[in-house]
Amino acid sequence: MESCRKVAIVTGSSRGVGAATARLLAEKGYHVVINYSKDLKGAEEVEKACADRGAETLIFRGDVSDDDACRSMAEEAGKKWGRIDALVNNAGTTKHCAHHNLEGLSKEDFLRIYGVNVVGAFQMMRAVAPFMKQAGTGSVVNVASIAGVTGMGSSVAYAASKAALINMTICLARVLGPEIRINAVCPGFIQGDWNRNGMGVELYEKVKSHFERKAPLRMTATPEQIAASILYFIEDAVLVTGETLLLDAGQHLM
C-alpha cells in the first residue's frame, strides 16, 4: 500500500540518538521503522511516543550485522507503506579498551564491531537502495563518530570502524546519486545511557565534566541535538552528499 506520508528506517532506535531521531521524524510527519536487537521495552516506548505524534510504526527486531535481517527490514517497510524515503544508520557497538592495551582487543572484537558499525550500515544501504532508486529520491544518514576523525574514542576498533563508515559514506554517495544522498554525522561525547553504561557512572561524569570545561563551546551533546542535525540532512540538505558533519562542540580542536 502506497503511503502519502514519507517513511524512515532508524536502526538502533530503542534508545539514545536513534530513539530521539525516530521521535523527531514522527513529529515531522514520517512513518517510522523502529529497529532494536535487545531492548524491546525501549522500542515499545519509542513506538508509543511516535504514535502520540501521529505516526504509524513498525517494530523490527534484528541485528544489522545479519544481511537477512537488513533485507527483511526493508522489505517489511516496503510491504507496509510502499516506500522508503530515509534511512538512519544509527545502530552501533563498541568495546571499551584503552588504546595502549593492544592485548585488550581480539580478532573477534574487531569483527563484531565492524560487523555492526560498518558491514551493517552497508547492508542496510544496499537493502533500501532499490526502493529509493525506484522512487527517484532518498536520503541516508550514517551516524559515525568524532572518534573516526580524531582516532580517539572507546577503543581502537571502534575508532577504526567509524573512520571506515565515514569513508564508505563518500564511496556510496559517489555511486548512488542522483537519486540517493548519503551523508554522515560525527557526534562527540553524547549524554545518556549508552556512554553511562559503557563507562560506568564515575568515569562518565568525569569525562562529561572535562569536555564541558575544556571544549570550545563548553557543552556536550544531547541525543535530541544530534537528531536535529540528522533531520537537516534528510529534509533540507538537498545539495549535499558525501559530507561529514562534526557535532562535537569543538572537541576535535582540543
CA distances from 20 to 2, 216, 250 (A): 26, 25, 22
Distance of CA 118 to the CA centre of its chain: 11
Mean pLDDT of 91-107: 97
* Per-residue model confidence as pLDDT tens digits over 190-231: 998 888 888 889 988 998 899 999 999 999 999 999 999 999
Question: Higher pLDDT residue, 254 or 86?
Answer: 86
* Per-residue model confidence as pLDDT tens digits over 133-147: 999 999 999 999 999
Cβ atoms within 10 Å of 154's Cβ, excluding its own:
20
pTM for this entry: 0.96
Phi, psi of 79 (to 5 degrees): -65, -40
pLDDT at 1: 61
Mean pLDDT of 31-41: 97
Catalytic residue among 36, 158, 204, 232: 158
pLDDT at 152: 93
pLDDT at 195: 85
User: Could you say which of 3.30.565.10, 3.40.50.720, 3.40.50.10680, 3.30.43.10 is the CATH number of the domain covering 7-190+222-248?
Assistant: 3.40.50.720
Burial of 100 by CB count in 10 Å (0-12 exposed, 13-18 middle, 19+ buried)? exposed
Question: Higher pLDDT residue, 200 or 25?
Answer: 25
Confidence of residue 162 (pLDDT cuts 50, 70, 90): very high
On average, the pLDDT of the chain sits at 96
Mean pLDDT of 231-238: 98
| Residue 158 among the catalytic residues | yes
Q: Which three cell numbers stand for residue 74?
A: 526493508
Q: Name the residue ranges covered by the structural domains of the chain.
A: 7-190+222-248
The widest CA-to-CA distance across the chain, in whole angstroms, is 54
